[in-house]
Structure 1
């Protein structure tokens, strides 16, 4: 039997049983790392099984580990930009194939979680090139890439931080106060979000909306889907992070009250935080710095705006090669550019930005901008196209 991660009560029951030895090791002040590796292998078996998806996963892992190993050898000899680009493309190739093949007669080639695993291997290749990673421990890298709590849902961790945590000794008191109790709290909060609030929204709201010629279903679905997506996504992200804590790894939080954002730039520091930081570090920042170094644009603001469009479009393509995902990426990029222009040039904003009443208005407006973006993302508008 193959389970969809964090989607069933039976999976959650098995997960709790799997966490018990980790808790015992933590309370004894022992390293959880090696048990975590065994638990990861077992849970991957439950989530992916031993059929076609497992074969794709095995090929992916062998391919990526070979690339990481040989690129490290190459980087130790010299820092060559073209070698880096070739290895980077090769690292991205399985993800590209996974996104393109659904549009072909071949069908989907890949496995659950390929996107998140690819982000991890890409990050390793980039940081090897930068010189931030100087040594590769294959078992630690394998554990990082395959770490089961964040296999299919994220959040996206960073290898150096992960390796440092799994290899340190955590005293009993620290494990209880900083890992066990916070982990349990996050798991219960996640269960409430996903299995209660999100389930109620779906059952009594979004699932009952039928598209017709009027605008009312669109508006109802726009708000309903946005709230459902948040509680569902934030729910299983919290469970994933909480489980990581139990296994001695403080995976980064993925959500921070996103609907209290006063503009779209703030929203992306609160929504799917690990993904937006990943894209910010490895696409946005690098594009801006490279553009300024090569003087592609006269102003840094122009480079920043182009980078925002490219970054969010890439995020759209990452979700899938459908018009609504790509339109969603473009919409978010334009929203960020307009936010930049508004906060820099608006006299009204500069005059009232510290006033509470003005901030409340900003929150309401931003929420509606977010909701319309989620409507595009949902694909609901397909019924009207």
Structure 2
């Protein structure tokens, strides 16, 4: 199998040839019989996992197998424990153990300078799914647990490498309930549309910004050094590249899910048309931001308010934002620009909250029309682009190396 085409999902047009061939039997079965062949989906999953984690990446494949075994046993043990008892310490220990592999993958390179042997493409998104399971089992939202269903959810190949991050209960409904022909035809149409739009985003627009314009403006910015118009140009080019490349990938992942009859949630909804930073996070990498909101921010706020750590809900909210985005920054990596990126967004959200409170209090004096709305979009877009400049690490290259 030396000539087998190992490749990253959705990164190569050839990948789509294999994908369409593999999905055709699924599509025909769903159109004719309105149901899925679980055994065939399992075979397709194994094939694409082998394509992504085999060959020269076999170590990632081994790490993936070990990781899935670890999480499956962990969630199984916690589920059966939770049926009898509800000890908070066991819950926190389970969450810690679920996060531990990802934490090691992030910390080891920072400490040793070498990649962790536990790392593989998509470990973050699988960890979010595992932690979500443990939290919802504790809440009582998940009342039944199937090992096979959990592994199927964890290894759902269209979204394994970079999301979107689905929810177990939503995924389970898709698996258990036969899809109506009319609904599947609608999903099929949307899936095909996503593929065409994804090709436009990732392989045309994203390629132009990432491979043509970005090296060009980066070279000019490095030539002039310091702050310059070339640096501003790099900021906009990188931001647009980041969006079109990632949004294109997400369109492929969601589109593939649709063709398989799964209504996987979308990840982007015109984020650059947001009129404030809170709205931006409701539109950008939505499944990730909603995951952080539901499983970190809301639970932290509940604890802070319940234990009356702060007298003011506003202070508690601001502390929650900084904790949330600091965690998000650490998740991206243990470098100064990821941490600053997180703290920057936390500061923007706190300022936005303050502005919204002020605006509500003085709504008679503050104009609200199409012009002010356009100005808000313009300011938000530039604030976000500056955050992406920080995130890119280019400032580190330009000023500190």
- Structure 2 length normalisation: TM-score? 0.93
Q: Deviations over 1:232-269 (max 9, x none)?
A: 00001011001001111111110001111110000000
> For 1:130, which of 131, 135, 139 is the aligned residue?
139
Counterpart-to-counterpart distance in 2, 1:281 and 1:34:
34
Counterpart-to-counterpart distance in 1, 2:279 and 2:229:
29
Extract unaligned runs of 5+ from structure 2: none
1:43 aligns with 2:43: no
Matched residue, 2:255: 242
Matched residue, 1:62: 69
> For 1:158, which of 167, 172, 192 is the aligned residue?
167
> For 1:309, which of 322, 326, 350 is the aligned residue?
322
Equivalent pair of 2:105/2:115 in contact (CA under 8 Å): no
> For 2:12, which of 5, 8, 29 is the aligned residue?
8
Matched residue, 2:343: 330
Q: Deviations over 1:10-46 (max 9, x none)?
A: 1122112121111111112122444222211111100
Counterpart-to-counterpart distance in 2, 1:246 and 1:141:
21
Matched residue, 1:195: 203
Q: Deviations over 1:336-377 (max 9, x none)?
A: 111111111247776446311100000000000000000000
Counterpart-to-counterpart distance in 2, 1:264 and 1:349:
20
Matches within 5 A, 1:250-261: 250-261=263-274
Counterpart-to-counterpart distance in 2, 1:366 and 1:126:
34
Shift of 1:301: 1.3
Taking only aligned residues, the RMSD between alpha carbons, in angstroms, comes to 1.4
Q: Deviations over 1:212-244 (max 9, x none)?
A: 325122101100000010000000101100100
Matches within 5 A, 1:18-97: 18-28=22-32, 29-49=34-54, 51-97=58-104
Equivalent pair of 1:343/1:349 in contact (CA under 8 Å): no
Shift of 1:107: 2.5
Matched position secondary structure for 2:83: helix
In the alignment of these two chains, the number of paired residues is 384
Counterpart-to-counterpart distance in 2, 1:226 and 1:142:
35
Matched residue, 2:183: 174
Counterpart-to-counterpart distance in 1, 2:363 and 2:289:
25
Counterpart-to-counterpart distance in 1, 2:37 and 2:364:
51
Equivalent pair of 2:301/2:320 in contact (CA under 8 Å): yes
1:376 aligns with 2:390: yes
Matched residue, 1:230: 243
Counterpart-to-counterpart distance in 2, 1:353 and 1:256:
27
- Structure 1 length normalisation: TM-score? 0.97
Extract unaligned runs of 5+ from structure 1: none
Equivalent pair of 1:31/1:170 in contact (CA under 8 Å): no
Equivalent pair of 2:275/2:373 in contact (CA under 8 Å): yes
Matched position secondary structure for 1:205: helix
Shift of 1:203: 3.2
